[in-house]
């Protein structure tokens, strides 16, 4: 069971958010703000090259009110592992040590450090905020880009499927793996709180739409994060000590209501839409509630 989070009772003060230089409606910034509502002051965060590493401020200004370290692309979980070791040597306890990467910084270029930290069961947790493209450098394709999506270097649409990072992290044998969405803040915060309270390595993967890359209005990032869950393509669940539980039930709205309004899917075929709908129907039909 995950703790219930009462949104009314969250602290007023934001430890990340106001004054950030992200785009209007940036879901990465929304995820950061939501996370810091529950992680609070005793948190140290490492972020590899990505939008999130840069939008926290510029020149001498920063929105972070906790120690934040911008790492090289490949190594945020390794740096966080080192921070934990240094805290331990000094006898400093009760600190959340987090690495926080984009989909490239987690699933692609940053993967070896992530996999290594998980295998060593470091006492840290990693958050992947997934906008399904490499947005900070102009929206290139990555392993988290869904099949058929148009990107700045896939003019005909990505030919292969999205790599299932949650499944990959689960088979590392770590104690806690969870998916999350910026459209379900109480669920997201409860999962972060749980990851923070556990000893050992945890992994949380947040779907965080980028309006530029996805081709949706800038005030619709939360709405499309919600539709991804409601249509069944982005399942919200957790696996705690091997026990899997769905945390939000999808309404199973038609997949096309999520896909069609996004410009990145403007070349998707009717067959592919049908295939996705069939995949969702089979999955929820089979697994049940």
Ligand X SMILES: Cc1ncc(C[n+]2csc(CCOP(=O)(O)OP(=O)(O)O)c2C)c(N)n1
Interacting residues with ligand X (CB under 6 A): 28, 49-52, 73, 101-105, 109, 131, 133-137
Distance CA 97, CA 125 (A): 7
Give whichever of 102 and 209 is closer to ligand X, judged by the CB atom. 102
Give whichever of 56 and 232 is closer to ligand X, judged by the CB atom. 56
Residue nearest to ligand X according to CB distances in the complex: 102
Shortest CB 148 distance to ligand X, Å: 19
Shortest CB 201 distance to ligand X, Å: 20
Give whichever of 31 and 124 is closer to ligand X, judged by the CB atom. 31
Closest by Cα among 152, 142, 65, 80 to 105: 142
Distance CA 215, CA 218 (A): 9
Shortest CB 258 distance to ligand X, Å: 20
Closest by Cα among 197, 160, 155, 207 to 176: 197
Question: φ, ψ for residue 164 (rounded to 5)?
Answer: -85, 90
Give whichever of 66 and 72 is closer to ligand X, judged by the CB atom. 72
Give whichever of 110 and 185 is closer to ligand X, judged by the CB atom. 110
Shortest CB 274 distance to ligand X, Å: 29
Give whichever of 51 and 255 is closer to ligand X, judged by the CB atom. 51
- Using CA atoms of 213, 214, 220, 225 in order, give the dihedral in degrees to the nearest 10: -110
Give whichever of 51 and 118 is closer to ligand X, judged by the CB atom. 51
Distance CA 164, CA 239 (A): 14
Give whichever of 153 and 251 is closer to ligand X, judged by the CB atom. 153
Asked if 38 and 193 touch (Cβ cutoff 8 Å), the reply is yes
Shortest CB 18 distance to ligand X, Å: 20
Scanning the structure block, which residue is given the tokens 């980028």? 210
Distance CA 240, CA 261 (A): 35
Shortest CB 121 distance to ligand X, Å: 24
Asked if 49 and 72 touch (Cβ cutoff 8 Å), the reply is yes
132: left (phi over 0), alpha (psi -120 to 50) or beta: left
Strand partners, 68: 45
Please state, in angstroms and as integers, the Cα–Cα distance from residue 59 to each residue in 55, 62, 63, 100, 160, following that order: 11, 8, 12, 21, 40
Shortest CB 286 distance to ligand X, Å: 31
Structure tokens at 116: 């290594």
Shortest CB 281 distance to ligand X, Å: 30
């Amino acid at each position: 069971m995950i703790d219930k989070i009462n949104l009314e009772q969250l602290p007023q003060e934001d430890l990340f958010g106001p004054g950030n230089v992200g785009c209007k409606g940036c879901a990465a910034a929304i995820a950061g703000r939501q996370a810091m509502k529950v992680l609070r002051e005793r948190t140290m965060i490492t972020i590899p090259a990505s939008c999130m590493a840069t939008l926290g401020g510029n020149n001498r200004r920063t929105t972070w009110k906790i120690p934040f370290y911008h790492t090289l692309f490949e190594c945020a979980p390794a740096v966080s592992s080192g921070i934990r070791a240094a805290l331990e040597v000094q006898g400093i306890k009760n600190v959340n040590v987090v690495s926080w990467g984009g989909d490239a910084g987690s699933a692609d270029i940053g993967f070896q450090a992530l996999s290594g930290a998980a295998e060593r069961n470091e006492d840290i947790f990693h958050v992947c905020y997934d906008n399904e493209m490499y947005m900070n450098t102009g929206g290139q394709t990555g392993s988290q880009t869904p099949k058929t999506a148009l990107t700045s270097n896939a003019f005909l649409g990505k030919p292969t499927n999205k790599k299932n990072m949650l499944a990959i992290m689960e088979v590392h044998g770590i104690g806690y793996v969870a998916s999350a969405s910026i459209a379900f803040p109480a669920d997201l915060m409860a999962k972060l709180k749980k990851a923070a309270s556990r000893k050992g390595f945890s992994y949380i993967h947040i779907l965080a739409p980028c309006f530029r890359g996805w081709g949706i209005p800038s005030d619709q990032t939360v709405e499309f994060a919600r539709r991804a869950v409601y249509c069944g393509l982005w399942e919200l669940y957790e696996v705690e000590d091997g026990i899997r539980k769905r945390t939000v039930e999808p309404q199973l709205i038609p997949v096309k209501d999520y896909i069609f309004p996004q410009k990145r899917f403007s070349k998707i075929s009717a067959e592919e839409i049908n295939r996705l709908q069939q995949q969702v129907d089979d999955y929820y039909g089979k697994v049940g509630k």
